[in-house]
Structure formats: structure tokens, C-alpha cells
Amino acid sequence: MKALEEVLGYQFEDSSKLETALTHRSYANENKALGRVDNEKFEYLGDAVLDLVVGHALMIAFPELKEGELSVTRSQVVSETGLSEVAKEIGLGDFLFLGKGEARSGGRQKPSLLADAFEALIAAVYLDGGFDAAEALIKHLLSERIARVETTGFYDFKTRLQEAAQARLKATPVYRVIDERGPDHDKTFVVSVMIGEREWGQAAGKSKKAAEQNAAGNAAFVLEGAAQSDVAEARAEIEAAANSEKP
């Protein structure tokens, strides 16, 4: 783990936090006698820290963007695809503690597993060194991606998602208002976009139309960056659901 610390440019005071961040549940389940804790709670915390740091950085970098546009822009940086690519760049997969089956099935290269581990790693640094240490690491690893995010085309995301959904899943997105907040004269709408039985994006907006566009943007980046195996699984679910409805 010293080699990983050198790559990160950060040395842990409490190495057990790094150990937890690198421990997949498959390893913890196969080695219960070791009493190892898996990294799932760290994933949750790391996700929140990433959203805060990246969101703040984007506000500074792109002051002209509105709330919904910032949300869509942030999703590019902290998406599974984006985080897994950074994880691969620093060789994070080589340091993970995986169960034997997960390791044999290529777990060290799985985008979803790598993205989760990256979030857990951020949480470990936050818990070990505080917010400033976590912020410094995030900026060090993600600054180039923040600088080159896509900041145009925000009002055509529904079309973009429609095309991606048809091409990759042979299905049509469905938008649902799942929450309305605030008084009638100043409402905020929260919209979820479903493709098949899966939610692919969720976002808020000051109108239903704006919320749908923001949700479509989030979903488009997720779907466009999804691994082929994940797309195949989602498409199979959609086809199975359609077949079950046939008389």
C-alpha cells in the first residue's frame, strides 16, 4: 500500500482506513476470520465529498452556468465512467482486496467496482486527514477532467438521451415527476428518467421541462459511458419485461 500512497502523494496516519477503502465485500465475505470491514460505507461518504469538491470547483471554473447545468456538468466528472478511468490511471485495481471469484472474473478492471473503490479512497483520505487533504487529492486527480468537461448543448439532452437509448437499449426513456418542493410561486420539481425498469438519471429544476432536461443530461452521460456488459444486462431486462407482457 506504500506504493499507492506514493502515487497519491498522501501518506496515511491510520493505514487501516486505506485498508478498508481497498476491501471489496467479496474479500470480506471470504475472509471473515480476519474481521475485515468492506468499503461500502466509505463509498457512500466518498461520493458526498466528491460532489461537494467537484461542485465547488465547477462553480469557480464556469461561473456562467446555471444550477441545472452545473449538476449535469458535475455528473460527467463523477460518473462511473469518469471515476473508473481515473482509478485505472493510478492503477487502483492492482491494490484492491478481492474475493477469489471476483478476481478471476476481471474485477480489477470492472468500471463499477473501480469507481466505487475510488469513492471509498476519497472517504479514507477525508477521515484520515480531514477535508483539506481530501480536497487537495480530488483536485490533483480530477483537475484535468474538470477543465475539459462538456458545457454546451444543455437544452437538447432529451434528444441526445432518446438517441442513445434507442441505439444501446432499443427502448424509450420515460420521465416522472417524483417530488415537488417549495411554495406554488417558487416550486422546484424533481424528475426521474426511467428506461425499462431502471432509473438512469434524476435531477431538479424550476420547471418540469428544466428538470426533465437536467435528468436527461445525467442519464445520457451514464448510458453513453456504461460498459457494454452493463448495457447488455439492462437490454436483456427490457426484453424480458416486454416478453412477459405478451399474451
Angle separating helix axes 67-78 and 40-61, nearest 10 degrees: 130
CA distance 156 to 54: 24
User: Which secondary-structure segment (H or E) carries 72?
Assistant: helix 67-78
User: What is the dihedral angle through the alpha carbons of 241, 242, 245, 247, rounded to the nearest 10 degrees?
Assistant: -140
Q: Which of 38, 69, 102, 119 is catalytic?
A: 119
Q: Do 93 and 121 touch, CB atoms closer than 8 A?
A: no
Kindly give, in sequence order, each residue whose CB lies less than 8 Å from that of residue 166, ignoring residues fewer than 6 positions away. Answer: 172
What cell was used for 42?
A: 466509505
CA distance 125 to 144: 20
Q: Which of 38, 43, 47, 128 is catalytic?
A: 47
Is 102 known to be catalytic? no
Q: Give the sign of the dihedral formed by CA 61, CA 64, CA 70, CA 73.
A: negative
Is 245 known to be catalytic? no
Catalytic residues: 47, 119
